[in-house]
Structures are given as C-alpha cells and as structure tokens.
Amino acid sequence: MESNTIKKLKQTIYKYQFSLEQDRALSAFSEVSLKLAEQLLKDNADDISPSAFTVWWQANYRLYANQQMMITSLNFKGSSSDQSQPEEDEYIEITNQGPAILDLEGWSIEAGPNQKMTFKENTLIASRQTIRIYTFDKGEFSFNSHHAIWNNRGDKAKLYDENANLVSQWWYGREAEQDVYISHIAFDGNDRYSEGDEYVEITNLSPAWVDISSWVLGGGHADDFVFSEGSQIAPFGSIRVYTNKLDAKTGGYSWDSKRAIWNNHAGHAYLNGLGQRIVSDYSYAK
C-alpha cells in the first residue's frame, strides 16, 4: 500500500502540473517539492522509502520536461535557390534548454488545422540540442508535406507533449500583431547631451514567443529602426530599443545614435509589422 507521504506527493504533482499556468508552475512546484522532500526525510528518518523518492524524482522530471522544450526558430519564408519553390527549405526548430535528456515520443507540432507532425518513439533529445523539422520530406524530421504550410503573412506554431498539453508557442506576422504594442517611451534621458539612455519599450501580451524580424520602429529624429532576423519577444515579456546603449537584459537593441532621438516635450512613435502594417502607435506630451 502507498504511504500517506507518497499519496501527498502524487496529489501535489497533479495539482501543480494541471492547475497552474506553465510560466508559474516551475517556481511554485519547486518550492512545494523541496518542502515535501524535507517532510519525507523527517517522517522516514530511520527507513526512507525508495518508492517515495522515485515518485518525487519522476514528478520533477515530468514537470521539467514541459519547461525544457521550446520552439526557438521558424523559417517561414524558406531559402531555396529554386525561385519557383522558395518554400522548399521551410522549417521550424525546437530546443531542449534543460539538463535532462527527453524522449519526444508522442509529442507533436501543429501548424494549423490538418497540419500536424507527431514524433515517433525513441526520439531522444539531449540537453541543449536543437532539432529542425522541415515542411517537405527532407532531413531526419519533417511534416512530409507536398506544399508550404507556414503562411508568409503570419501564422501560429504550437508544440504539444504526449498528453496534448500545450508546451510552447511561436507567433509571427499578422497572428502576432494584435498582442504587441509600444508600452512606454523614456524620452528624457539622464545622459548629458546625447541622452543615450532614452528608450522605447515594446511589450508582448501573448503567451507565445513573438517573432518581430523585419518589423520597423520609427517616429523620432533618426532613421527607422529595423529589427534584424531572429528578433523576438518572450511570452508576456518586453524589450527596449535604446538611443545609444546596449542592455542585454532588455534585448540588446540600440539605434547607436550619437544624439537624442526623442523630443523632450512631445512626440510620436510607431511600430510596423511585416508589409509595413501598422501594429502600434504611441504619442506623448510632457
């Protein structure tokens, strides 16, 4: 029979795996997991049950699995030299960013209705390993599709685990525009003359990673700032574009302007997405 300690562990596992949002689950579970481990040692000081520790370890592993795997890149335009079919090299990449080797058997990537790829058994992904899943029948992993699946104007990619729990999302283009906005402009910097610490803050209100490659930020006394390939904003995260300062913690974006960009009395900024579609406007006055 299971001890009360094991039953309590299992109840806690269930609660924290299915009741909390994923971005909060890890820290919350870690605290409870440590407390239960301490209680386990206290209750079984003379005879620690191996089965209890097994449950505790498996619980940690299962939770960390869903925290480890992430969509990290999506090449929706393709790069084939054959201009008649440039989408031939479409792909999506996922990365194991945690410490454990994962078996992705039963996990799946969804590119929309009827566009789903499921990983086969013994798909082992090492720590820090990235795998690429092509659209066409190419490479080790693919959707084995005969036509492009990623919409060049915008789409949503979703990664699910073997129990159909949503693990990671990646949005781009029109599918991302409604959740991204200019949230703040620090227009009066402290740096003397150049005001290099001025910045524009851009916020992502969605639960997905948002790809803002080739998006344009402008409106100040400088040329438009064009986000380079690979630019992204974390779920519910923000980035800053400074006038003349590099800050890795906020994305590492800078105009590298030797003079102030934003008027200290009033101004306007705009953020345009793919195809110069207006994503956000921001006006301010002192």
Helix axes 4-18, 50-68, angle to 10 degrees: 10
Average pLDDT over residues 203-231: 95
User: Looking at residue 263, what DSSP letter applies?
Assistant: -
Give Cα separations from 225 to 216, 220, 229, 239, 253 (angstroms).
6, 10, 13, 14, 9
Q: 142 pLDDT band (50/70/90 cuts)?
A: very high
pLDDT at 37 over 70: no
Question: How do residues 155-177 score in pLDDT, each as one tens digit?
Answer: 999 999 998 999 999 999 999 99
Question: How do residues 231-241 score in pLDDT, each as one tens digit?
Answer: 999 999 999 99
The pLDDT value recorded for residue 202 is: 98
DSSP assignment of 36-65 equals: HHHHHHHHTSSS--HHHHHHHHHHHHHHHH
Question: How do residues 90-110 score in pLDDT, each as one tens digit?
Answer: 999 999 988 888 999 999 999
β-partners of residue 226 are: 216
* Portion of the chain with pLDDT greater than 70, in percent: 74
Domains of the chain: 4-68 (no CATH), 69-172 (2.60.40.1260), 178-285 (2.60.40.1260)
Average pLDDT over residues 143-154: 92
User: Phi first, then psi: what are they for 36, rounded to 5°?
Assistant: -70, -35
